[in-house]
Amino acid sequence: MAGVVSVQYLFDTQKNKLPFREPLILKPEIIKAADLGLDNAAADAAWLSAIQYFGGGESRTSEKLPDYLFLASDLDPKFAYPYAFGALVLPSIKFTDEGIELAKKGVENVKNDWRIPYYLATTYHLNKDDPVNAAKYFDITANTPGVPDGIKKVSTRYGSKSDKREQTKQIWIGIYETTNDEIVKERAKNYLIHFEIMDLLDQASKQYYKINKKYPAELNDLINARILKAIPPDPFGLEFELNQEDGTVSVK
């Protein structure tokens, strides 16, 4: 019994010392030649690897994520979700252009998944600050069969509201409510919290003005004035600052 336990213990400690090895990414042509025609299953394997790789936590970087997603889409061009997932997640890890390229390929190959143009439009809006392309893809979203009403509303109203933060918030609400994907849902939640905090700071700042007839110089003033108990921590770890002239909150 002691022997069994000690062997298991040694094995476990050894395992932690081994470097993390990411699953190999082969060229799609090679996989297609070797998989006996089971391209879809191979695409699924690439997709599952992508999720494990990205969400698993063991790997230090997420560099290979675009490769996995592109591989999945090469093996199964009609596989919708990797396009959508990539459109949303890749920009957040500094692979914005790859995310856009992937999503565009998705819009071409998959005609009935509203998430792809929606997430692509979101990326254009958020990361590229490109309202023209965002509008284009929101339009495609609104015309995609099977699009939920809420999303359709957000998409068609894009550009008509001037408040960018409110617009973005609506976009993320749409995503949060319609996704089953834990990773994406988490991301959407964080955005919503982020915007909620900014709204909260905005309101606090206006309250300060009502009391003191001027805007706070810095965030701590809000605490000192007993308007807020504390500055809530931002889910993205960003810091906020105040514009003393008009009391608006923005990211540092």
Partner 1 sequence: MKNILVIAKNTFKETVRDKILYGILAFALLFLISTTMFGSISLGEDIKVIKDLGLAGIYIFSLIITIFLGSSLIYKELEKRTLYVIFSKPVSVFQFIIGKFMGLWASISLNILLMTAIYLGIVAIKGGGFDYVSLFAILLLIFEIAILIALTILFSTFTTPLAGTIYTIIILYIGHSISITKTFAEKSEPFVRYLLNASYYIFPNLEKFNLRNDVVYGSLPNSAQVIYPIVYSALFTTVLLSLAISALKKQDL
Out of 22, 23, 25, 51, point to the residue binding partner 1 (CB under 8 A). 51
| Alpha-helix residue ranges (DSSP H) falling in the chain | 2-17, 28-34, 39-55, 65-75, 80-92, 96-109, 115-126, 131-142, 149-157, 164-178, 182-212, 219-224
Per CB under 8 A, does 161 bind partner 1?
no
Q: What are phi and psi of 79, to 5 degrees?
A: -75, 110
Out of 40, 59, 96, 168, point to the residue binding partner 1 (CB under 8 A). 40
Q: Which two tokens stand for residue 149?
A: 């009403």
Out of 70, 79, 83, 137, point to the residue binding partner 1 (CB under 8 A). 79
Shortest separation between residue 41's beta carbon and partner 1, angstroms: 4
Shortest separation between residue 229's beta carbon and partner 1, angstroms: 37
Of 79-87, 129-137, 164-172, 214-222, the window that binds partner 1 (rule: CB under 8 A) is 79-87
Q: 251 has which bridge partners?
A: 240
Shortest separation between residue 72's beta carbon and partner 1, angstroms: 11
The Cα–Cα gap between 71 and 54 comes to: 15
**Residues contacting partner 1: total by CB under 8 A:** 28
Shortest separation between residue 16's beta carbon and partner 1, angstroms: 23
Positive or negative: CA dihedral 82, 84, 88, 94: positive
Per CB under 8 A, does 180 bind partner 1?
yes
Please compute Rg for the chain using Cα positions.
23
Burial group, residue 186, by CB count within 10 angstroms (0-12, 13-18, 19+): middle
Interacting positions 115-154 with partner 1 (CB under 8 A): none
The Cα–Cα gap between 84 and 97 comes to: 14
Residues 6+ apart with CB under 8 A from 35: 41, 42
Shortest separation between residue 44's beta carbon and partner 1, angstroms: 5
Out of 26, 48, 211, 251, point to the residue binding partner 1 (CB under 8 A). 48
Of 77-85, 91-99, 148-156, 203-211, the window that binds partner 1 (rule: CB under 8 A) is 77-85
Shortest separation between residue 182's beta carbon and partner 1, angstroms: 7
Of 45-53, 149-157, 196-204, 221-229, the window that binds partner 1 (rule: CB under 8 A) is 45-53
Neighbouring CB atoms inside 10 A of 241's CB total: 13
Neighbouring CB atoms inside 10 A of 32's CB total: 16
Q: Cα 42 to chain center, whole Å?
A: 25
Per CB under 8 A, does 158 bind partner 1?
no
Per CB under 8 A, does 41 bind partner 1?
yes
Per CB under 8 A, does 74 bind partner 1?
no
Q: Under the rule (CB under 8 A), what is the footprint of partner 1?
A: 29, 32-41, 43-44, 47-48, 51-52, 76, 78-79, 81, 85, 179-184
